[in-house]
Structure 1
Amino acid sequence: MRLLITGGAGFIGSHLAEWALVQGADVVVLDAFASNYDPALKQANVELLRLRAARASGSFRFVRGDVRNGELLDRLFARHRFTHVAHLAALPGVRPSLAEPRRYLEANVGGTVALFEAIRRHPGTVRRVVVASSSSVYGAQPGPWREDMPPAPLSPYAASKAAAEQYALTYQRLLGIGVSCLRYFTVYGPRQRPDMAIARFTARALAGQPIPVFGDIQSRRDYTEVGDVVRGTWAALLEPGTGFEIYNLGSGGPFTLQQLIAALGRVLHRPIALDLQPPAPGDAPATWADIGRARERLGYEPRVSLEQGLARYVAWVRWHHQWAQGRPGLSAGGRSRRSGDRRESWR
């Protein structure tokens, strides 16, 4: 397998790249190091992938660049002749999208179109494309959510993901290749973005600070550990055929925010104080994945319970704190101590 992973220096993408290297794939990671969070964290993920590649049967190459750069994509496709593509590059986050809707449109929809246009310009090699989507496309509909339910986005971010799915369907029909859109449900785990809820909750709890809770503490989320998501994404990449499909990748059962915080307190062995805040706009009151389709067609089966996943994440946070103390360019809190990042060309 010759695999391109866009957004591969990020949270889910770096885990997918690591898994693919172990499976023997030749992996090219394309990432623009967008400034939605500290680029030093993404650089650390790239360095980790280089270490993994040295011990794996697959090969690894990192390219710093924007997926919307057609000339860069043409060089990459001509040189590597990818057989599979995992399109994870996107601007994430419901709340930031409310302030910058055009930026989300250009990045998430424009990036998807640019990628498929590159595939169209280089026919005959790509057999399967997976596109990262989001549970947010379902909006506030009652759960469990099935893939045949109509999108009902509540934010520009969610709308951009729903639109990207429609473009993926259009290009599948134009190109005749296999395309799957994967709706991820509240993915968490080691290397997750520092702005995500579980990361923020853990950091504040370890610092002895109260956790801000926006809205109802009984709101529910289908929390999914990143290892389960990676296994489901890999299964979708390996799926045969040339059709179009949408899959929910979640745990299959929601937990209330109160249950999540209680589980985190047990893992940390300390009580957690709450700072109750008004509800945030754009957030759905509950998410809940029906994973029957992914289970039947991909053999997808979540293996990691919420408490197991939180324990793994907390162990990684503590390890990362110690590791970061010895890094010249990264503090324990994930802030860069130098300006700029080492750049690499597409070569």
Structure 2
Amino acid sequence: MKILVTGNAGFIGFHVARRLIERGDSVVGFDVVNDYYDPALKEARLAELDELSRRQGADYRFIRADLADRDAVDAAFREGGFDRVIHLAAQAGVRYSLENPQSYVQSNLVGFTNILEACRHHEVGHLVYASTSSVYGANRKMPFSEHDGADHPLQLYAATKRANELMAHSYSHLFGLPTTGLRFFTVYGPWGRPDMALFKFTRNILAGEPIEVFNHGNHTRDFTYVDDIVEGVIRAADQPAKPNDAWDAENPDPATSGAPWRIFNIGNSTPVKLGEYIEALEEALGKKAIRKLLPLQPGDVPDTYSDTSELAKATGYKPRTPVREGVRRFVDWYRGYYALGSA
């Protein structure tokens, strides 16, 4: 198939594009490569994809452009003839949304509108897009299920991703565009984002500097290894959404629709306390952290826990990588990438 992967210079997008190239798909990447975090890391990911495609003789090309630029998006689709679109580009980060909300409007709302319009007019067979566990917001019923409502986000980032889900539904309903939204749960692993906790903790522990441990390390996260996320993304993309013929408008199921639209959680279904996550990192690094204990930050939720039964039912797959194994793999990559050697 010919597949467009937006955000392929980003963490998850890079891993998805790499897997698609490895299995022989024709892949077009699209990314603005902004400076939200170190662009050198993004350029290194792109170089990896270039090298892989050369080795395999793969049909891969990269478009450096902004999804908020409608003309650039339209041009990519006119030339593309895409069977699938995997939309992973977004302005990420919970805390940054408190500082620069306009960036989230441009990337997550304007950019997504341009993707929806392009998919509609170019008759794309399936649009898969990244959402987030953050949409569950003020929900306290555990585990988080797609069948429960998600209408009380606690920060703008989550609100824009919930908006994406609703925007997609309108296009699925009006134009029959099959869409699948994927709610990711705390993704980590090699080539990760420097603004995320694992990257920051690793850097500071190795430098002998304190790490900031919010909520005194007592909140839990459903940490999900990136390879598990990728497997879920690709399996979902391979099976276009279909209408749920049993959907009842008088008693609506928030996870499905009478339109070809659906939502899946992708998480490890094994919540881990932040303190335990840090212990796994200390073990992998062979060095203890200096912990600076702080209160819960504004916009953060105390706990996340995914119910992935719908993903398993639809695709036959459930994430399974244990946190200690995933953290060890990240540390191995980190030492290699930064040429630090072993402990």
Q: Normalised by the size of structure 2, how large is the TM-score?
A: 0.91
Residue 132 of structure 2 is aligned to residue 134 of structure 1 = yes
- Count of residues in correspondence between the two structures: 322
- What displacement does 1:174 show? 2.2
Task: State the match for 1:195 in structure 2.
Answer: 195
Q: Please give the alpha-carbon distance, in whole angstroms, between the structure 2 residues aligned to 1:321 and 1:188.
A: 18
3-state SS, counterpart of residue 287 of structure 2: coil
Q: Which segments of 5 or more consecutive residues in structure 2 lack a partner in the other structure?
A: 243-259
Task: State the match for 2:327 in structure 1.
Answer: 310
Residue 166 of structure 2 is aligned to residue 149 of structure 1 = no
- What displacement does 1:35 show? 1.7
Q: Decide which of 261, 267, 271 is 2:288's aligned counterpart.
A: 271
Deviations 1:268-316 (A, max 9, x none): 1222220112321000000110011101111122131100000000000
- What displacement does 1:172 show? 1.3
Q: Which segments of 5 or more consecutive residues in structure 1 lack a partner in the other structure?
A: 326-347
Deviations 1:163-220 (A, max 9, x none): 0110011111222132100000000001111010011011111112221111231100
Deviations 1:240-261 (A, max 9, x none): 4542110000001100011111
Query: Does the 8 Å CA contact 1:86/1:129 hold for their aligned counterparts?
Result: yes
Q: Please give the alpha-carbon distance, in whole angstroms, between the structure 2 residues aligned to 1:18 and 1:254.
A: 28
Deviations 1:46-68 (A, max 9, x none): 11001111233631101100112
Which residue type is aligned with residue 86 of structure 1?
A: I
Residue 76 of structure 2 is aligned to residue 76 of structure 1 = yes
Task: State the match for 1:174 in structure 2.
Answer: 174
3-state SS, counterpart of residue 239 of structure 1: coil
Which residue type is aligned with residue 217 of structure 1?
A: G
Q: Please give the alpha-carbon distance, in whole angstroms, between the structure 2 residues aligned to 1:315 and 1:91.
A: 27
Task: State the match for 1:256 in structure 2.
Answer: 273
Q: Please give the alpha-carbon distance, in whole angstroms, between the structure 2 residues aligned to 1:321 and 1:39.
A: 15
Query: Does the 8 Å CA contact 1:4/1:28 hold for their aligned counterparts?
Result: yes
Query: Does the 8 Å CA contact 2:120/2:177 hold for their aligned counterparts?
Result: no
Question: Sequence identity of aligned pairs in percent?
Answer: 40
Which residue type is aligned with residue 150 of structure 1?
A: G
Deviations 1:14-44 (A, max 9, x none): 0000000011111110001122111121111
RMSD of aligned alpha carbons: 1.5
The aligned runs of 1:180-329 (5 Å cut-off) are 180-242=180-242, 243-322=260-339
- What displacement does 1:75 show? 1.7
Q: Please give the alpha-carbon distance, in whole angstroms, between the structure 1 residues aligned to 2:145 and 2:216.
A: 24
Q: Please give the alpha-carbon distance, in whole angstroms, between the structure 2 residues aligned to 1:223 and 1:40.
A: 26
Q: Please give the alpha-carbon distance, in whole angstroms, between the structure 1 residues aligned to 2:229 and 2:335.
A: 23
Task: State the match for 1:107 in structure 2.
Answer: 107
**The 10-residue stretch of structure 1 (91-100 or 226-235) with the greater mean CA deviation from structure 2:** 91-100
3-state SS, counterpart of residue 195 of structure 1: coil
Query: Does the 8 Å CA contact 1:68/1:115 hold for their aligned counterparts?
Result: no
Task: State the match for 1:54 in structure 2.
Answer: 54
3-state SS, counterpart of residue 183 of structure 1: strand
**The 10-residue stretch of structure 1 (240-249 or 251-260) with the greater mean CA deviation from structure 2:** 240-249
3-state SS, counterpart of residue 275 of structure 1: strand
- What displacement does 1:83 show? 0.4
3-state SS, counterpart of residue 42 of structure 2: helix
Q: Please give the alpha-carbon distance, in whole angstroms, between the structure 1 residues aligned to 2:172 and 2:57.
A: 31
